[in-house]
Amino acid sequence: MFKKLGESIKKRPAIGWILFAVVMVGVFLLGLLAASITERRAEIATLLNNKQIEIEGIESRNERWGINYPREYQTWLKTQDMDFSSKHMGNVPSDVLEARPSMVVMWAGYAFSREYTAPRGHMHAIEDIHNTLRTGTPGDGVDDMQPGTCWACKSPDVPRLMHEVGIEEFYKAKWSHWGSEVVNPIGCADCHDPQTMQLKITRPALVEAFERQGRDITKATQQEMRSLVCAQCHVEYYFKGDDKYLTFPWDNGSSVEEIEAYYDEIEFTDWTHSLSRAPMLKAQHPDYEIFNMGPHAKRGLSCADCHMPYRSEGGIKYSDHQVVSPLKNITSTCQTCHRDSEENLREYVYEYQDKVLEIRDRIEEVLPKVHIMAKIAWDNGATDQEMAQALKLIRQAQWRWDFSVASHGASFHAPVETQRMLAHSLDRSLQAQLELQKVFHDKGITDFQMPDISSKDKAQEYIGLDMKALKSAKEQWIKTVPPRWLKEAKENGRLLSNL
Ligand code: HEC
Ligand code: HEC
Ligand code: HEC
Ligand code: HEC
């Protein structure tokens, strides 16, 4: 090869010069890369040298870290902003059940049918878990609806408490037991080691899931860590056994089918559907799992590349800690790699989303109907045996739907995988409908009519929720209990601000 090259250069000297130029550009780029790495190390070293205070142990009070790292802290504070909406997402509060009331029926018998709002910025995590109807009104003779585990993805007080009382003790206590302890929203100590400012995994569930797969998370690269810190929370999980031990079901792998196989093997169900009596699974938010199956993960991108872009201020480069939709700042996110216009880039995202939502909306028509048909079949004396196949299909269909839509970014993160999962969901929903039509035929049921579930109120009334009572009890509770928790936390010095 080199001989041939030599001959070509002799024949046409220009080739030699082109080669030379290419090599020089390569060397220059490598130099830039090395400089940028050294620069970054130097920046971190300067940061550490300029520390104003020493942070000891697991410091959950974000304000303390803010003294040392004002840029990161100031941008982190902006996760409380509610000023951005894209076509389908954003950081503003939005009532999902109001927009898609059929979900009330799909979750009948489960707390999500009471209330489900779209996620907001990290700083709202504590306020939102207090205020949702899904945590009930524990205290004064009313039992907790949730265990301590439910706090796991809300606050840096969680690793602090796990360290103090033990992991198991933390999970299995009642949710309200930690009311005056878990008070600071998702922050610095969730992702950082205070001494070195290196990224750090603080949630045992992620470490344990890696261990069971024979992987060692301490060997993760820096680029992997820029996703793994998010994977502490933005994943599928369940509460294992009576002790409600937080567990990621990845032992067989992390596709929708592999996780389903895991749950089937241990015969796990989140709840029994109150209309169809199907043994249901509820997906959490498998953002990490699904993202990994998409084109950007395949090219080595991490969550932070789009959700925490670099910023420059007075020559200092830092990571924007306002974790939010990348469409809020297309210039500093997508456009660092893509040369398309802002408009085109936004349109790519909307196009993927709209196409996925077409299938999603069809499923949300069919599945509620199927649950209701199953109820009619039971009401007309169908037997367990006659219903078995339909119920199995309902479980599978809804699992695939939930896994795809509960990860809010999935339609962009991994468009093809998401369309695949939803196609299987729709297929199983229609198969379930066929099975139920057979049961209808055998039982001589002819007069099936869909109830009116066209609004959230109507759907909630249909499934038998007394929303007035639930809401007024919660309003009363919100006025009295959380203020008491937060007051106690301030007196103990666990909470510094009024945020
Ligand atoms: C300790 C758990 C935890 C960690 C770690 C975490 N998140 Fe979150 N994230 C949440 C919770 C909980 C919410 C919803 C908060 C609410 O609605 O009150 C959320 C919300 C979000 C949102 C929606 C914000 C909006 O404006 O609508 C995005 C985007 C997001 N997270 C991305 C990330 C990324 C990227 C990472 C890693 C860099 C990450 N998260 C790390 C728990 C976490
Ligand atoms: C959800 C996880 C997460 C939280 C919460 C978080 N960080 Fe970070 N932080 C990151 C990531 C990711 C980087 C980029 C690291 C890298 O690329 O090496 C980073 C980088 C940093 C750096 C290094 C310089 C830079 O800006 O790139 C500092 C300093 C820092 N964060 C401070 C803070 C402070 C202070 C808080 C709390 C107010 C905080 N972080 C909260 C994930 C987080
Ligand atoms: C290539 C860029 C890119 C990467 C990398 C990326 N995302 Fe996203 N993400 C997006 C876009 C675009 C959206 C849709 C935003 C919109 O519609 O406004 C989104 C949406 C989200 C949402 C929903 C936000 C909301 O307002 O409800 C979450 C949560 C999220 N991503 C988490 C993650 C996590 C966790 C990772 C890493 C495992 C990740 N993302 C990696 C581009 C990215
Ligand atoms: C850190 C670099 C980086 C960032 C940031 C980034 N991308 Fe990409 N993107 C890539 C790479 C690399 C590919 C693969 C290109 C290829 O193979 O042709 C890609 C592919 C794509 C594709 C084609 C996907 C496919 O199905 O193959 C789209 C669309 C896209 N990006 C949109 C976006 C949008 C929108 C954003 C911002 C939310 C974004 N990207 C942010 C690097 C990036």
Q: Is residue 22 part of a domain?
A: yes
Residues 240-265 pLDDT 10s? 999 999 999 999 999 999 999 999 99
Stretch 68-82: mean pLDDT: 97
Q: Is 289 in the pocket of ligand 1 (CB under 6 A)?
A: no
- What one-character-per-residue DSSP string does 183-210 give? -S-S-HHHHB-TTT--B----HHHHHHH
List all residues 6 or more positions away from 352 whose beta carbon is below 8 Å from its beta carbon.
411, 412, 415
Res 261: pLDDT: 98
Count of domains in the chain?
1
Rounded to the nearest angstrom, the distance between the alpha carbon of 428 and the centre of ligand 4 is 32
Please state which of the ranges 7-11, 214-218, 484-488, 490-494 shows the lowest mean pLDDT: 7-11
**Which amino acid does the sequence have at 133?**
L
Q: Please, what is the Cα angle at 272 between 267 and 273, to 5 degrees?
A: 135
CB count within 10 Å of CB 137 equals: 20
Probe residue for ligand 3, chosen from 413, 417, 418 as the CB with the greatest number of ligand atoms within 8 Å: 413
Stretch 30-55: mean pLDDT: 79
Q: How many CA atoms lie within 13 A of 94 on its CB side?
A: 18
Res 27: pLDDT: 77
Q: Is 413 in the pocket of ligand 3 (CB under 6 A)?
A: yes
55 pLDDT band, cuts 50/70/90, is: very high
Residue nearest to ligand 1 atom 28, measured at CA: 324
**Which amino acid does the sequence have at 463?**
I
Q: Is 325 in the pocket of ligand 3 (CB under 6 A)?
A: yes
Residues 197-219 pLDDT 10s? 999 999 999 999 999 999 999 99
Q: Is 290 in the pocket of ligand 3 (CB under 6 A)?
A: no
Res 36: pLDDT: 67
Res 273: pLDDT: 98
Stretch 121-150: mean pLDDT: 97
DSSP 242: T
Q: Is residue 493 part of a domain?
A: no
Residues 261-276 pLDDT 10s? 999 999 999 999 999 9
Q: Is 137 in the pocket of ligand 3 (CB under 6 A)?
A: no
Rounded distance between C-alpha atoms, residue 69 and residue 230, angstroms: 20
What is the span of the domain harbouring residue 19? 2-49
Res 232: pLDDT: 98
Ligand closest to Cα of 288 equals 3
Res 315: pLDDT: 87
**Among candidates 159, 170, 167, 162, which has minimal Cα distance to 200?**
159
Stretch 30-41: mean pLDDT: 70
Stretch 85-102: mean pLDDT: 97
Res 192: pLDDT: 98
Q: Is 234 in the pocket of ligand 3 (CB under 6 A)?
A: yes
Tell me the percentage of the chain whose pLDDT exceeds 90: 88
Ligand closest to Cα of 122 equals 1
Q: Is residue 83 part of a domain?
A: no
Tell me the percentage of the chain whose pLDDT exceeds 70: 97
Q: Is 304 in the pocket of ligand 4 (CB under 6 A)?
A: no
CB count within 10 Å of CB 476 equals: 11
Probe residue for ligand 2, chosen from 58, 69, 200 as the CB with the greatest number of ligand atoms within 8 Å: 69
Q: Is 321 in the pocket of ligand 3 (CB under 6 A)?
A: no
Q: Which atom of ligand 1 is nearest to the CA of 156?
A: 1
42 pLDDT band, cuts 50/70/90, is: confident
Q: Is 303 in the pocket of ligand 1 (CB under 6 A)?
A: yes
Stretch 57-74: mean pLDDT: 96
Q: Say yes or no to pLDDT of 11 above 80.
A: no
Q: What is the CA radius of gyration of the chain?
A: 26
Rounded to the nearest angstrom, the distance between the alpha carbon of 122 and the centre of ligand 1 is 5
Q: What counts of helices (H) and strands (E) characterise the chain?
A: 22, 6
Q: Is residue 437 part of a domain?
A: no
Q: Is 303 in the pocket of ligand 3 (CB under 6 A)?
A: yes
Res 170: pLDDT: 98
* Mean pLDDT, rounded, of the chain: 95
Rounded to the nearest angstrom, the distance between the alpha carbon of 283 and the centre of ligand 1 is 16
Q: Is residue 170 part of a domain?
A: no
Rounded distance between C-alpha atoms, residue 95 and residue 450, angstroms: 24
Stretch 52-71: mean pLDDT: 96
Rounded distance between C-alpha atoms, residue 365 and residue 41, angstroms: 54
Give the max Cα distance, the chain: 94
Q: Which atom of ligand 3 is nearest to the CA of 350?
A: 17
Res 1: pLDDT: 52
Q: Is 91 in the pocket of ligand 1 (CB under 6 A)?
A: yes
Q: Say yes or no to pLDDT of 499 above 60.
A: no
Q: Which atom of ligand 4 is nearest to the CA of 300?
A: 12
Q: Is 230 in the pocket of ligand 3 (CB under 6 A)?
A: yes
Res 31: pLDDT: 72
3 pLDDT band, cuts 50/70/90, is: low
Q: Which atom of ligand 2 is nearest to the CA of 186?
A: 5
Q: Is 372 in the pocket of ligand 1 (CB under 6 A)?
A: no
Residues 170-183 pLDDT 10s? 999 999 999 999 99
The answer to whether the beta carbons of residues 245 and 171 sit under 8 Å apart is: yes
Q: What share of the chain is helix, strand, coil (3-state, %, to 5)?
A: 60, 5, 35
Buried b / exposed e along 482-496 (16+ C-beta atoms within 10 A): beebbeebeeeebbe
Per DSSP bridges, beta strands 238-240 and 245-247 are antiparallel
Q: Which atom of ligand 4 is nearest to the CA of 336?
A: 5
Stretch 205-234: mean pLDDT: 98
Q: Is 78 in the pocket of ligand 1 (CB under 6 A)?
A: no
In the block, residue with structure tokens 């990994």:
292
Residues 288-311 pLDDT 10s? 999 999 999 999 999 999 999 999
Residues 407-443 pLDDT 10s? 999 999 999 999 999 999 999 999 999 999 999 999 9
Rounded distance between C-alpha atoms, residue 232 and residue 471, angstroms: 32
Q: Is residue 25 part of a domain?
A: yes
Residues 450-474 pLDDT 10s? 999 999 999 999 999 999 999 999 9
Please state which of the ranges 35-39, 50-54, 283-287, 434-438 shows the lowest mean pLDDT: 35-39
Question: pTM, whole model, 2 decimals?
Answer: 0.93
Q: Say yes or no to pLDDT of 32 above 90.
A: no
